[in-house]
Amino acid sequence: MSWLQHTFQEYPELAVFLTLSAGFFIGSIRVGKFSLGSVTGVLLMGVIVGQMDIQVSANVKSVFFLMFLFAVGYSVGPQFFRGLKKDGLPQVLFAVLMCVVCLVAPWLLALACGYNVGQAAGLISGSQTISATMGVASDTINQLNVSAEQKAAWINSMPVCYAVTYIFGTAGSAWLLSSIAPMMLGGIEKVRAACKELEKTMGAGDPTQDPGMRSAFIPVTFRAYTIDAQSTAAGKSVKQLEAELLQRNHRLFVERIRQKDKKLVEATPDYVINPGDEIVLSGRREFILGEEHGIGTEIVDVELLNFPVENVQVFVMNKNVVGKTVKALRAMDYMHGIPVQSIRRAGIAMPVYPEAVLERGDHVELVGYKKNMDKAAKEIGYADIPTDKTDMIFVGLGIVLGGLVGAMSIHVGGVPLSLSTSGGALIAGLVFGWLRSQHPAFGRIPEPALWVMNNVGLNTFIAVVGITAGPSFVAGFKEVGWGLFLVGIAATAIPLLSGVLMARYIFKFHPALILGCTAGARTTTAALSAIQEEVQSNLPALGYTITYAVGNTLLIIWGVVIVLLMT
């Protein structure tokens, strides 16, 4: 054991990777619907590993923390700035007010309980489940005019309070918003009914919908048929056949035609289908199954079915599409034969209803015959071509510029105030993420790379925090006691329940939006999933993205504010 301790002390990087590995494993263990999550798992493992008195350079956590914050800003930047427009202002204002409550409630509770600066920062970070607040608070503490010993004591007390309050902050938030909040809105049945009513106005349940209209994926299929004299297609043009099928609520398309002499011809609208022709139909599987006997005899023909079909992610950019409904988009000529598979906004899956409005920067997933896709993608915006390369010029420049701005300080009453390099990186991420949405030809960060920046960046920072605080963790826990858990419950519940009341009586949002906006302002994705499951609707996601962007920004900045308030 002494050899292992000596090795980790000499090579602290190994201790960091041990903490990450074990922490992710612990965080993945589920008891019913509850799990600690990777962040808490890594923190607790870091505390255990830290008992071996391992010294890790503070620069390690700084590098990974800056990377994480830039990725956060990059992800939510488009929605953050979109929310500043007229139609998003009510949700922005709601998120700001709720975030103020998220700051004030833990602050007042910390004062009432006599907590120090670090304990207050840990309380707000854990109860609001925003781990990055600890990093920003640490940077701010390091700027204070106090002794190095005092700074270390405050910073080391943060993870204690974070760990104790994070558990209810996560699980409790999901329970409060999925169970208690609907009761405050008239009961779960009333909320479900309101969601169903709103879904109807948005066209949900229309049998003519394309794949992706509900959470269970419905694959698009391509099937080949031989046309005989008795076929409903014989003697009709391609346009007439598709129109006849659509009248029966079967949105199917003729993609390819091979004539009786085995010559492949283009499926133009005016082409008349003759007995002996072989055609390929595309569409939802159940629609084709319902028509196969009337169309003809199905055949398996590699040559006929061997043609390129693409799934393409397209940025909504063109002004002729921004603000249109999904139904209006489908009616465009260039969308012939192309179903809308899914829509994602700020990484969140949106319900794809006919009356759902497309916004600039949305990711629309299209699937269809390759020859049609290029034109459709060009008309909608910009095709996000899959790549595994990250634009590191963009990333590196963004972090440097943000860090330089954040490092600038002003003196108020002799106290130096600044965003710190971490706050600057977050702001830079917001701006650069917005620039990417406006000019998607540059600044790409693929989803896997963004996951690494977000998860590995944050958890490496947390691992170093846990290892550094390990030796003093037990003493710190004895100091705050189990009463902190009850304080954490109050710090979590007060903002959430206040948010529901504000959204209902002040902003008068729809019940589905009330739940989504409240979850978004508190940046609790787990709660959003629980809400959607409980109300049996995806509509709460419509209120999540803008408030999430605002909440993710303000709650991190509160790391600066809580330190200033407590000092």
How many angstroms separate the CA atoms of 27 and 362, rounded? Answer: 32
Give pLDDT, residue 415.
53
Give pLDDT, residue 210.
46
Give pLDDT, residue 304.
84
Give pLDDT, residue 563.
92
Contact 487, 175 (CB under 8 A): no
Contact 272, 299 (CB under 8 A): no
Contact 507, 98 (CB under 8 A): no
Residue ranges of the chain whose pLDDT lies below 70 = 1, 33-34, 83, 86-87, 201-220, 284-287, 289-293, 346-347, 409, 411-419, 526
Q: Which two structure tokens, joined as six digits, stand for 354?
A: 């006919």
Element (H, E) at 353: none
How many angstroms separate the CA atoms of 160 and 176, rounded? Answer: 24
Give pLDDT, residue 395.
92
Closest CA to 470 of 39, 3, 42, 2: 42
Give pLDDT, residue 204.
56
3-class secondary structure, 142 = coil
3-class secondary structure, 26 = helix
Q: What is the pTM of this model?
A: 0.67
Contact 441, 459 (CB under 8 A): no
- Where would I find the H helices in 446-536? 447-451, 457-480, 483-501, 511-521, 525-535
At 282, give phi and psi (nearest 5°): -120, 150
Give pLDDT, residue 83.
67
Give pLDDT, residue 497.
95
